[in-house]
Chain A
Amino acid sequence: MSVNKLERLLNLTAVLLDTRRLLTAEELRQKVEGYPPPGPAFHRAFERDKDDLRVLGIPLTVEKVPTTDPPIDGYRIDPDQYYLPDPGLEPDELAALHLASLTVRLEGLEDREALWKLGGVDPASHLDVGPANPSPAAPESSGVVASLPTDPALTPLFEAITRRRTVLFTHKGQERRLDPWRLDFQRGRWYVSGFDHLRQDERNFRLDRIDGTVTVTDEASDSRPSQPRTQPLQAWEIGSEAPTKAKLWIDSTRVESAARHLGPTVSRVGNDDGSAVFEIEVVNFQAFRTFVLGFLDRAEVLEPPQWRSAIVDWLAAIADGTFAGPDDVSSGVTTDG
């Protein structure tokens, strides 16, 4: 951007922020230095400037100027929409945010400008935030520790969460209307959870299963989650079946890794031989079956009986080669995961 253009945009922004009434294009031409005389050249320059302001994220209000006939567009910037409320960050908190942006990369999303807006980073501030703290002794270990994939649906969903708006999207061919509450990143994928108007209940959706774009509506979303979640979701917790408690036996060689995977909230009863039985709540049997089969012959579903026999039937059909076709094995449940 040339210096003249930069100056003009800054002056335009200053005038639009300062005004209490709507200003017409002609008034802006007279007030802001650096515009060409009235005519097509001014029109083109003004249109480009408006686009530039929008790209910068500057909230430009366009309304018809009252008492004009025929109506003429008037412009202003609402200071309440423009100014960032001061988050009141302490220097160590700002430094922690800076460290986060250095160590975790969101592919395709830039957060450097966000840090500028929050006041840049005090070069003298000392960081000590725990194990992820970059070590000066090994600069190669202080680089990116994680790189998160992104999804085109992420930004509109985040906007809807912060503005409390209902969104519309198509998921597996079905129109969904959702009041989004939160975004979760687990096992390498993004999920959105919220109140699903179709099912009239809380649901989770995988972002990469959303077809096309997410539309942020002007409808206010006033639903709230019933209880905040503390543990990350497991695959078998994403679904719409009636919650069922399953008992899963794991042999001694895999008990520890199963316990790590299941997390501390899952109840576990140990046996003398080192094996253990875990009690797991499931709303997606297919996902649970996949988890169980990953242990091959080192795990066994004990309860409920209908799931134990479903696994036995599944395995018997593979062993005998007697699957009749997909209808034979469908669990009869659709999942939203």
Chain B
Amino acid sequence: MRRVLAIVPWIVANPGRHTSEVAARFGLNEAELLNDLSVVFMVGLPPYSPDALVDVQIDDDGRVSINLADFFSRPLRLTPAQGLALVAASDALLSVPGMDSDGALAKAIGKLSDALGVDDVNPVDVHLGNAEAEHLNLLRSAVADGYDIEIDYYSFGRDVKTRRRISPWRVFADSGSWYVHAWCTLAEGERIFRLDRIEALEVLDSSATTVVEVGDGPPSTFNPQDQTPVITLELDAEAAWVAETYPCESVTSLDEGATQVTLAVTAMPWLERLLVRLGPHGRVVSEGSFDGAEDLSARTAARILSRYEAS
């Protein structure tokens, strides 16, 4: 029904197109299209005499036209959910660094917003993440051509810079950042790199040696290994965001909105940051397999303080 209500107005407005073209336009095969049209033959207004029925004509060459369907001459309005899906997806694509902000997509969003009744502001603004257009372009073409690249990468968790050669498979945006999923020759394994932490990038003139099947959709960006040390924290209600933000191995509710969480710790600076940000709202209750966490927050705070005292 949804499809018929969309196809009929298009044929009314574009008479004489070939059935194969109409079918392709709506993602159907020709048999499915003819099946849809055969229903329309029987539709009309009372008394359903031939002159009151929708008149579908398909000539010998397979060109189709529809008459006497004034009531279906325009498609049905978009529902709010449909308008949202299309506008948000379009705005997201438009936010990709390097996109032409005056191009066809931008014009389409403007016209669509008008048709939806929004005239003075852009109703949806999607920001997929920070990335330099040049890096994004180079990465996408390296993926397409199967080239390796060399990157200077700042590893936020470990707070170190490294140079590494990677074979990129896929570039994607997830949860507000751009990532490249790649084989890393330095780590000798699959790694995911954040584009805004790639400080320099060079496409190497050799094709990637590793071919890996890539699944549909973004992979999870955090994959703790079995041997990763874990730590247990007690958090008050103010610090509930920790459990929402980081993948926890376990979360136990305590009184007054407090929780006890067990987290995998992949790198020391990551834990240092978390602890000084939490301040009084979180404390280490068990350092588990993680050595030296007991007074880590005090030591980290003292280290930052020495910066303030020096100046």
Interface residues of A (CB under 8 A from B): 1, 3, 6-7, 9-11, 13-15, 17-18, 30-33, 52, 56-59, 81-90, 92-97, 99-101, 103-106, 109-123, 129-132, 135, 137-138, 140-141, 143-149, 154-156, 158-159, 161-164, 181-189, 224-225, 228-229, 232, 253, 256-257, 260-261, 263, 289-290, 293-294, 296-297, 300, 308, 311-312, 314-321, 323, 325-326, 328-329
Which residues does chain B contribute within 8 Å of A85, judged by CB atoms?
Answer: 114-115
A-B CB contacts (within 8 Å), total count: 375
Can you give 10 A-B contacts (C-beta < 8 A)? A6-B39, A7-B39, A7-B43, A56-B76, A100-B93, A101-B90, A113-B6, A129-B93, A158-B123, A263-B130
- In the complex, what distance in Å separates the CA atom of A308 from the CA atom of B308? 9
- Confirm or deny: B276 has a beta carbon within 8 angstroms of a beta carbon on chain A: yes
Does more than half of chain B's interface fall in helix, strand or loop, or is it mixed? helix
CB nearest to A130 among chain B residues: B99
- Confirm or deny: B269 has a beta carbon within 8 angstroms of a beta carbon on chain A: yes
Which of A97, A137, A228, A317 is within 8 Å of B105, CB to CB? A97
Known: A7-B43, A96-B108. Is A1-B76 also a contact (CB below 8 A)?
A: no
Contact between B306 and A297 (Cβ–Cβ < 8 Å)? yes
Interface size on B, residues (CB 8 A): 124
- Confirm or deny: B32 has a beta carbon within 8 angstroms of a beta carbon on chain A: no
In whole Å, how far is B275's beta carbon from the nearest beta carbon of chain A?
A: 8
Known: A11-B44, A188-B174. Is A106-B88 also a contact (CB below 8 A)?
A: yes
Contact between A111 and B82 (Cβ–Cβ < 8 Å)? yes
In whole Å, how far is B110's beta carbon from the nearest beta carbon of chain A?
A: 9
In whole Å, how far is A327's beta carbon from the nearest beta carbon of chain B?
A: 10
19 extra interchain contacts, Cβ-Cβ under 8 A, other than A11-B44, A297-B307?
A83-B74, A96-B103, A100-B86, A100-B93, A100-B105, A110-B82, A114-B85, A117-B78, A154-B84, A158-B87, A158-B123, A182-B121, A182-B122, A232-B127, A257-B196, A260-B130, A311-B308, A314-B279, A315-B302
Which residues does chain B contribute within 8 Å of A158, judged by CB atoms?
Answer: 80-81, 83-84, 87, 123-124
